[in-house]
Structure 1
């Protein structure tokens, strides 16, 4: 990732529900534009040295834009997934529920069963059941997206995953 003085830095929050930060590159440490960059953040005016990761975008300035004018992201949303676990007699059931602005409540169930010869390690059943519930929830969300695409285009859709 490379940047130049005047480029915008947009960084997603590292925590669920956290704010997206927007700043401007005020100094580049290397001639080739490689990191780190000195960034002045629009929300605080604070300057920090930034080593961008996968949660960071670099954008060239938009012609006519005012410094620190926020143009990206257009929308910021938070969705939460709640996973509930029930264990009984070597069996674990997990229910994953997506809470957000989706058209309807999406939920899915995953199950795990302990082999009778295995030691009782509670966390393993929790992990397997939760993973299965989350995978099923992801499949349902992709199915919903496919239905919405088909509804808006009239053409059968398949979202690759």
Structure 2
């Protein structure tokens, strides 16, 4: 409400300070030379009487003032409820960010604990000729069918 009054006040000041438009017929009864017939003192007097008249509006129109007061009360209640909702939402978001920061600071895992080192394949040395490799007892669990010479090698088994 006060916002509208401030806007009205400043717009009135701006309109009073704007230069008068000359060259055409004026709807407010300007003289032929472009000067308005109302002086600044008369305009100030009229504005002060309008403000005084607005102060007595509730005495002349009590029903309009009652409805306006109810409307202002309803708007203020809704604004208060909206502000409470926004405040609770923001406080929840801030608390959630604080919890996340505390979890990160304590070093607790955030879900996936594998590092890039864990995900990289094991290193395998170069293939040695069969003559240099000592024969070992064949393990039946690792027995694989012989692959053709141009086949792609299978990846190593991961330990269980």
Q: Please identify the structure whose Cα radius of gyration is greater.
A: 2
- Give the TM-score, by structure 1 length: 0.23
Structure with a larger share of its residues in helix:
2
Structure with the higher strand share, 1 or 2: 1
After TM superposition, the score normalised by the length of structure 2 is 0.23
